[in-house]
Structure 1
């Protein structure tokens, strides 16, 4: 027989054996209810895994599309032939606890560029807004927004061309007087080739890696566990096939065919789930980023790997589970003396993960190699949990002897087969390790937000005003109900002879200086020097008494001198009071000390104190809406930073992910408990007939699950805290363990064990009936 004929015969035999396995899985005349349950659970598990993998394979395309839109929205100030510049001044403010970006625009000619997503430039009294801002403005409670933006809405920005579809963005048309302002920049187009702002991409990439592992490992363990359902029936069926002439290789191919059914069905289910859920995720905000359904396109290569790899993995899992099973014509024999597990390769996995994370500081933070090192390190450390747990359970069970009868029964069972319970518990352990690492990282990040208490207690609104209208804005702000005081300050840019960088002089009245620096030794005309606290760096320089400097302003990146001035003799030095949020160190002057300098050409910063009544910021913004681009305000006490929103989102996502994965792990534990009772049915009946109380047998079932779970919790806590420490050392943050969170997650694991044991008690009671001793 030629090699070609032999190969054809071999392939044909493979096809026939796989086909027989498929028919037995779905079309057997005596298919049992438990076999159907196994098929359904396997299909659901693989379907979930495929849906998650398709989602993870879409992250790269989603981030790439986001960065492309970000680059397309960057204004270009380089002159272009035949293009009339669009004069634009952009300011950020707040709406409630969110930030809004308002661009005041005026075309200098008919060929002015259009911002991305805008069909027509708004004229004076008109505006174009983002869809979310339009929705908020049109809502029943949007009266404050309508007062703040009384302009006529002539259109909405195309959300598919915005950097983020959920951004609050407005383009407001103004007259040509904006051209005289230094803040107005001439824009000749939009879009730059370089990508900018990749912090979100890095964070999402790292979180998708860690989160993907935390989600996938329990799912894959769930798939593997589902193959144990109706295992005894399958073994009897395979023995019957051996009896009618099938060899051992054919039996394994038939087993692979049975697994192929749930694999293909799960692949179809997962694809359907992804396609059904994708439209539902449109406009959902995650990690302060709005998801667009059309961006959720799996990478072709990763999608192909998923389509091919998931069925192969399921088949491989089934075949791997039979590696120590000998199918004989009349029975199934499981090798009773397992090979002693080796520790070396398991430690290598953990060691490589630690080494990868320790090597990350070698690279620049945020670059591809840094992201790769951190991602690989976190992946290997989390994979180390299911790698170490079977070895620990085996060694722990081997060293235990004596104890109560229920403990002895459980330990003896673990000594015979510790791998399966350990692998099932590993799903819970990975969830715990990932959850503890994320909780610890969140606790450290929140603890590091030093300004949050000060911001929460702050009773001032900050504002930025052009110098020409500063006095009018101050007067209007003082007339707003709830405003108790208004302080204005200006930063003068000054340069000495031949100096390129220069320094700043902060101009403020004596009342403001007294409040900020806690001094009562001030009269108009005085000057001071604020010294930095120990360990802080002064980025400017101190001026010498009598030094003559040039006062300059900047308009469209061009320097313009507005006055010359002589720095007087400082009256004294001032220090920052403890807990102050002001980071300014250097020269400070009162208005009387800067006479002769046209302060109307220097923008002012306002600090507006209020009595905390609701709606003060909205009333202030409405009262100053007539100043358009010349005045903007935001409330630091109500503004929730991007990091804070991300903390909240992460915590909610962590909770949802933990509930999902722990539920799957609980199902896996329940399947394990039921199958252990089914496999040991005759032994349990014999023990009960010999006088062993049913309570002892029930407690032994609890111990069989509790011992691996206890070891898994210990490994998970150590791994989670270690992973968090390795993460936090990359950003020089101390470890702040969220022990209540650790306790909640660990308690959930304990509850899973108890619930699984309770759910298996009816099966145990059934197994203790004397008719279970009957044999053929």
Structure 2
């Protein structure tokens, strides 16, 4: 068969599709909308790497090497910068205090001029929040005049809350929250670590699971209106076309719909791209300009979708005999064979089997085997579901009129019913497997916090230079604070420079010290020594009456005569160890305020632990506002029971965003599929109504025709999903457990989407059930 004849027949089919009148155009549009939705999601997927890379580049461009200042001396080109991040109602606010030391100090990306002292430049999102009634408490905390906005080049996404505030008196190397750095340029080195093999496996599975339903829907969309198209093709046999030519012409019609779908998909993508800045999913958003699909991937989509339309159509027509007087598909089809359908999931399991037990200690998983194995398992659903539907409905007979109508329709066209739910079944199976995998490895990436939430729910780190009494006075008057514990901490050693023995010093009143140690008795002026801590082997060596110890030698060499010296007195009381509210076991020396001189107290890095009355509205925001009044570098921390790996959280967030997009595609495509099915049955429904069939009976029959394949599809999805999830857990070396709540919730979400689509299709169904639908012009 020559390529010329192929192209001629495909072009003829395309002409039939666009010149065949209203009926042909309706079919083309239905196909194009279904394909277009899938193409839009594929383009979005190809654009995600560029969007993430753009976010990473902007994040790196505004970064600097913290805690390892590379510029020691002040110059005309240096800038002092300090971190002043905060949180507002679970939303992170990125804050920086800036103090240029010369006229050529580097400007942060996105900032045109440095804000004056008392002014700040803010991101557009933070500007909107500060101007809104919801931002009242945050306005009290960020008590600066807004003098400008940060451009997009200085933000990671359009919804980021960020500001740069002008400051003065910043000191380089201050050992406090918000360490001050002296820099002469912005931009940090990329020090990203190699990804954990299990996390890499998660990424691969997420992409396969999210993209597989898209491919299934596109394959189903190109077969819209297949029965009417096949009847039209019978006319071509009357004018001399052979069977192969009619199939190529049919493929040409599908090709036309796919090409129009490509155009619509590009349009949907461009519309969604412009709306990207307005949408925020799971606290993630992107700038429209960041969504730039890779040209090579765009070309792949543009070639693969039309090619898939042709191949799917030719494969679908293999079992259809198109004769000059009709299509031999109205007869009862031959029974489907099971053996080759089982080969797909078995082949997938065979590809995954060599990696069972590999875990994260034996290198990366073979990405080709992973992708191939998961694809075969999920494709196996689309192969098994038609056989399952046919086998089940063949045994369903007795029932009411609506049930009989539905069962007879399913017995005659079980393949069409299975195609309708293939996508949702694949999506649910993949979601179940991923939920099992995430739940199984969650403990590996989630750490239980040491913080004792029964003794404190927040802590405030007080900057050096702020007295402990001042911080306590500010925080104790905060509404909702029921109790607080203030402890200062510093280092001491037996040498002014590079001491051979070092220990820690903790200062607090008697009540506060009892939160960090077991004291025999206590009054102001007492000193205690805790020598029973496992990690502390030096306190016993330093606890000698008359020994001269130097406080805070970590600041480096100190000029002789300016060091802070403490002489160990007689009568240092022994104390037992006890974990403080943060879970740390403190050793070393414990001082009451009267036992420590003023210069020594000024070196303390103080932390205040707070117990809160959670019934007070916005109590945590009130604490953060009080901390801001202590000083711009005071840091209020909200305690949680657990902390999770940032990469693991990012992958889970990406899955949630992708799943939301796929669910939208599933709903829209199912609705289009349902409308196409109803359009195919318009005359049949009208005839039944004309003969007196009640509309309620017909509506129930249509609902049964949807419900039965969905129930079978979700049942099959649960089996495949649980099997795939079990294999993935064994691959990661994790004990197999099933979170039935998550499994049932995933299944319920799939059923809910179908129920919603069915309800939306009822109004058109009622309009089609009219006797005048039999009219023919």
TM-based fold match above 0.5: yes
1:239-638 → structure 2 map (5 Å cutoff): 239-282=234-277, 284-334=279-329, 336-337=333-334, 340-341=337-338, 342=340, 343-353=342-352, 359=358, 361-362=360-361, 379=375, 381-393=377-389, 400=395, 418-437=414-433, 460-471=457-468, 472-493=470-491, 507-515=507-515, 524-528=526-530, 540-543=535-538, 545-547=540-542, 552=552, 554=554, 571-574=574-577, 582-587=582-587, 589-592=589-592, 595=596, 598-612=600-614, 613-614=616-617, 618=621, 621-622=624-625, 625=628, 628-636=631-639
Question: Is the Cα contact below 8 Å between 2:502 and 2:538 reproduced in 1?
Answer: no
Aligned residue number for residue 5 of structure 2: 13
Question: Is the Cα contact below 8 Å between 1:562 and 1:598 reproduced in 2?
Answer: yes
Deviation at 1:603, TM superposition (A): 1.6
Q: Deviations over 1:207-249 (max 9, x none)?
A: 8615633651453254044142xx2x43333222222222223
Q: Deviations over 1:253-307 (max 9, x none)?
A: 2112211221111111111111122111115333433311000001101111111
Q: In 1, Cα distance between the equivalents of 2:187 and 2:620?
A: 34
Deviation at 1:479, TM superposition (A): 3.9
Q: In 2, Cα distance between the equivalents of 1:711 and 1:470?
A: 69
Q: For residue 13 of structure 1, give the secondary structure of its aligned residue in structure 2.
A: helix
The equivalent position to 1:138 in structure 2, one of 109, 124, 131, is 131
Aligned residue number for residue 32 of structure 2: 43
Unpaired segments of 5 or more residues in structure 1?
1-6, 532-537
Deviation at 1:626, TM superposition (A): 5.8
Q: In 1, Cα distance between the equivalents of 2:761 and 2:148?
A: 61
Deviation at 1:87, TM superposition (A): 2.0
For the structure 1 residues 763 and 26, does the alpha-carbon distance in structure 2 shift closer, same or farther, using more than 3 Å as the test?
Answer: same
For the structure 1 residues 259 and 476, does the alpha-carbon distance in structure 2 shift closer, same or farther, using more than 3 Å as the test?
Answer: same
Deviation at 1:129, TM superposition (A): 2.5
Q: In 2, Cα distance between the equivalents of 1:50 and 1:393?
A: 29
Question: Is the Cα contact below 8 Å between 2:581 and 2:609 reproduced in 1?
Answer: no
Question: Is the Cα contact below 8 Å between 2:46 and 2:294 reproduced in 1?
Answer: yes
Aligned residue number for residue 711 of structure 2: 710
Q: Deviations over 1:19-64 (max 9, x none)?
A: 3222221213xx464x443222101001101111110110010111
Q: In 2, Cα distance between the equivalents of 1:556 and 1:153?
A: 39
Deviation at 1:319, TM superposition (A): 1.6
Q: In 1, Cα distance between the equivalents of 2:654 and 2:557?
A: 39
Question: Is the Cα contact below 8 Å between 1:439 and 1:741 reproduced in 2?
Answer: no
Aligned residue number for residue 72 of structure 1: 61
| RMSD, aligned α-carbons | 5.2
Question: Is the Cα contact below 8 Å between 2:78 and 2:105 reproduced in 1?
Answer: yes
Q: In 2, Cα distance between the equivalents of 1:356 and 1:762?
A: 54
For the structure 1 residues 602 and 377, does the alpha-carbon distance in structure 2 shift closer, same or farther, using more than 3 Å as the test?
Answer: farther
1:141-156 → structure 2 map (5 Å cutoff): 141-156=134-149
Question: Is the Cα contact below 8 Å between 2:490 and 2:603 reproduced in 1?
Answer: no
1:27 has 2:16 as partner: no
Q: In 2, Cα distance between the equivalents of 1:383 and 1:496?
A: 71
Deviation at 1:715, TM superposition (A): 2.3
Q: In 2, Cα distance between the equivalents of 1:172 and 1:753?
A: 51
Q: In 2, Cα distance between the equivalents of 1:656 and 1:705?
A: 23
Q: For residue 584 of structure 2, give the secondary structure of its aligned residue in structure 1.
A: coil
Q: In 1, Cα distance between the equivalents of 2:501 and 2:194?
A: 29
Aligned residue number for residue 741 of structure 2: 738
Deviation at 1:604, TM superposition (A): 1.1
Question: Is the Cα contact below 8 Å between 1:493 and 1:504 reproduced in 2?
Answer: yes
Aligned residue number for residue 546 of structure 2: none
Aligned residue number for residue 121 of structure 1: 114
Deviation at 1:311, TM superposition (A): 1.4
Q: In 1, Cα distance between the equivalents of 2:134 and 2:717?
A: 48
For the structure 1 residues 106 and 628, does the alpha-carbon distance in structure 2 shift closer, same or farther, using more than 3 Å as the test?
Answer: farther
Q: For residue 598 of structure 1, give the secondary structure of its aligned residue in structure 2.
A: helix
Q: In 2, Cα distance between the equivalents of 1:93 and 1:671?
A: 53
Deviation at 1:510, TM superposition (A): 3.1
Aligned residue number for residue 58 of structure 1: 47
Q: Deviations over 1:561-610 (max 9, x none)?
A: 8667879988454455xxx9633134164324974682311321112345
Question: Is the Cα contact below 8 Å between 1:221 and 1:427 reproduced in 2?
Answer: no
Q: Deviations over 1:330-383 (max 9, x none)?
A: 33335954662412233112443566686562566xx8x688887666555444
Aligned residue number for residue 238 of structure 1: 233
Q: For residue 290 of structure 1, give the secondary structure of its aligned residue in structure 2.
A: coil
Question: Is the Cα contact below 8 Å between 1:87 and 1:106 reproduced in 2?
Answer: yes
Aligned residue number for residue 220 of structure 1: 218
Moved more, 550-559 or 130-139: 550-559
Q: In 2, Cα distance between the equivalents of 1:565 and 1:726?
A: 65
For the structure 1 residues 507 and 176, does the alpha-carbon distance in structure 2 shift closer, same or farther, using more than 3 Å as the test?
Answer: closer
Q: In 2, Cα distance between the equivalents of 1:474 and 1:320?
A: 77
TM-score w.r.t. the length of structure 1 is 0.77
Deviation at 1:516, TM superposition (A): 6.5
For the structure 1 residues 167 and 64, does the alpha-carbon distance in structure 2 shift closer, same or farther, using more than 3 Å as the test?
Answer: same
For the structure 1 residues 541 and 18, does the alpha-carbon distance in structure 2 shift closer, same or farther, using more than 3 Å as the test?
Answer: same
TM-score w.r.t. the length of structure 2 is 0.77
